[in-house]
Amino acid sequence: MHGQVALIAVIDSHDASRQQVTQALMSLYRVNAYADSERAIHGLRAAPPAVILVDEQVPPKGGSAFISHLKHEPALAAIPTVITGKRDEAVLAEMAKQCGAVGSLPKPFRRSALIKTVTALINRNVEADWDNLPEIQRQALKGTVEVFNNISDFIAAGEPVPFGSVKEACAPLIDAVAKNDFKGILNGVREHDNYSYAHSMRVATLLSLFGHTLGLPKEDQLVLASGGLLHDAGKISIPHEVLNKPGRLTEEEFTVMKSHVTETIKFLDVAHDIPKPVMIIAAQHHEKLDGTGYPNGLKGGALNDLARMASIVDVFSALTDRRVYKPPMPAEKALDIMTHEMDHHLDQHFLALFKTMLLDAVVD
């Protein structure tokens, strides 16, 4: 997916339901919502989306009839459509089959089920390619994307993240790093449209590689990887127009963006078994040596080694990530910028180790 954030169409006559779905998708996608099929058909023709969600009671003739009609619209026929409704799962699945929808979502559904359904449709080619990877890389990707999608439910419910599940999902990643067989993981998330997941997975991979290079025990590497996967969990609260804005953020937008750190900490604080290193990675990966970082403006000696490592990995990943508005920056250019333009922000001793680590691992 290139050019811009994917557009999702939501067609539902219930105001509250439309708003809930729009809210749930806002950190990942643009959303056009319609209250009836007549408005929807005009909107869909004008702006064809990547996925269409249709409530089975949408007026005037119901969701099934509307989806059947879409199959006769040349520009819309191939767009994956999901039918939603307050019906038994088997009944709704049969309705989907009859009208030509690719899937169904019985109401009420959890945010993770919605995200999983939508991202699976948008990323079906990307995630299908994971099946061709060696088992250890495939397990790392499939396990972490499932855990990542479920995090939103825990945040919404105010429940603690099950840290054991996060560690378990990261275990194949640690094994892949130990065998220097992780390039498929980094490449596997490069085209994934859930930027927060893709970025977090790359940070988790590079942090665990950092730990492996420094000779840390496997348990410590697991904590580093888990910290990488969780470090931006609060971004779920950031609207996509801020999170995915191509240009420079306004002062107000930057304030909103910075709030993801405090939101992450608030979420992680609910759990009582989150190791301190995970909290440090989440809380301090945007701090800078000269005190100009956020959220606390920590400076020099106030930043321990873990915070210094995390900020290097986060910056490198952000520069070399593929975004909807920019191609990935070559690693050499990113490292050059980090060395010559960010020398007051980043620990140059750890950066030198990081460069050597990347060269040894032959990371593209």
Q: In Å, how far are 108, 115, 117, 229 from 24, measured between CA atoms? A: 13, 8, 13, 20
Residue-wise pLDDT for 206-222, tens only, equals 999 999 999 999 999 99
Note the pLDDT of residue 1: 38
Residue-wise pLDDT for 34-78, tens only, equals 999 999 999 999 999 999 999 999 999 999 999 999 999 999 999
CA separation for the pair 225, 216 (Å, rounded): 12
Span(s) in the chain for CATH 3.40.50.2300: 7-122
Specify whether the CB–CB gap between 182 and 173 falls below 8 A: yes
Question: Which CATH number is 7-122 given?
Answer: 3.40.50.2300
Span(s) in the chain for CATH 1.10.3210.10: 131-361
In this structure, the chain runs to a length of: 364
Rounded to an integer, the average pLDDT of 115-126 is: 91
Rounded to an integer, the average pLDDT of 168-196 is: 93
- Give the CATH superfamily of 131-361: Hypothetical protein af1432 (1.10.3210.10)
pTM (2 d.p.): 0.86
Name the token pair of 22. 């729009």
